[in-house]
Amino acid sequence: IEQIVQMVKELGRKGLVKEYAEIRNRAPEGTFVYARMRNNLTKNRYTDVLCYDHSRVVLSRDDGEDYINANFVDGYKQKNAYISTQGPLPKTSQDFWRMIWEQHCLVVVMTTRVMERGRVKCGQYWEPTENSSLEFGNFHVRTLSIEINEDYTVASLELKNLKTDEIRNVSHWQFTSWPDYGVPSTAMAMLNFLQKVREKQANMVKALGDTWAGHPRGPPIVVHCSAGIGRTGTFITLDICISRLEDVGTADIRGTVEKIRSQRAYSIQMPDQYVFCHLALIEYAVSRGMLKSVDLTGFDDRDEDSD
């Protein structure tokens, strides 16, 4: 982690932005055949945010078509730790719940609001009020309780498969203070949220007892924003980097972003989000006493000088 601090000091904001541009300029390492099929085109929220074939989540053919704009992404020493996906559309909410059912997911992380600046960013695929419910195809989604915090809202949902009458619990975690076109103003709220999400996943897995024996970290955590690349990629990058930091005391932000991008194309969308990952990781290390306070004077200025 000291190396990261050193690098951040040397590169400054401008150097990191340049590094991000290099990552971004690399050509995609996969095909988008399914995302481009005629029947699937309207299932993509953004025509320019498609999903790779090789890592896509394939829905069962038993209940409809198999395409959803969602990719498996590996975590720290954990294959398929996450599913990165777009904010469901009215047309794809049913597929979204089908994916959660088929993959046995327990926790959903949402890092956008449904409306931002007067524009719809994500469908209302769950009820934001207690004791109400919605139906999507074979699924009934009931909101049991809601807990509103300053930076995030947690909803306990009950997902019922109407074909089998089986019921499962899903925990919905919405981070509400991530401004669109940007990054959170301080990392602490985000880091705190991330910690709580992990604890929830761990507790839910434990509560299911033997179901996840042999896979103690459980099913993938579903992470989405609007397009499922910018804020979603930032969240996953931080989660992976923090896991590694806690395990062996080191971090590789660039490598992590490149790896994520090889599974979910375009992950991390803005230069600021790449910079944020560095600053947040340092803030985390300081808060955990892994580093003494770090002086980043000149981090922002350097950019004007070094041209």
Residues that are catalytic: 225
Tell me which stretch binds ligand PTR (CB under 6 A): 19-27, 44-52, 102-110, 156-164.
44-52
CB of 266 to ligand PTR, least distance (A): 7
CB of 271 to ligand PTR, least distance (A): 9
Torsion of Cα atoms, 258 then 57 then 226 then 243, to 10°: -50
CA distance 60 to 62: 5
The residue from 15, 75, 218, 230 that contacts ligand PTR (CB under 6 A) is 230
190 near ligand PTR (CB under 6 A) = no
Cβ 210 vs Cβ 216: under 8 Å: no
The residue from 81, 227, 238, 260 that contacts ligand PTR (CB under 6 A) is 227
Q: Is 198 exposed, middle or buried (0-12, 13-18, 19+ CB in 10 A)?
A: middle
Count the residues of the shown chain that bind ligand PTR, applying the rule CB under 6 A: 18
112 near ligand PTR (CB under 6 A) = yes
28 near ligand PTR (CB under 6 A) = no
CB of 89 to ligand PTR, least distance (A): 13
270 near ligand PTR (CB under 6 A) = yes
CA distance 90 to 86: 12
180 near ligand PTR (CB under 6 A) = yes
Q: Is 207 exposed, middle or buried (0-12, 13-18, 19+ CB in 10 A)?
A: exposed
170 near ligand PTR (CB under 6 A) = no
Bridge partners of 173, per DSSP, are 109, 154
Residue 256: name the closest of 223, 275, 234 by CA.
234
Q: Is 60 exposed, middle or buried (0-12, 13-18, 19+ CB in 10 A)?
A: exposed
62 near ligand PTR (CB under 6 A) = no
The residue ranges that bind ligand PTR (CB under 6 A) are 46, 48-49, 112, 116, 121, 180-181, 225-232, 269-270
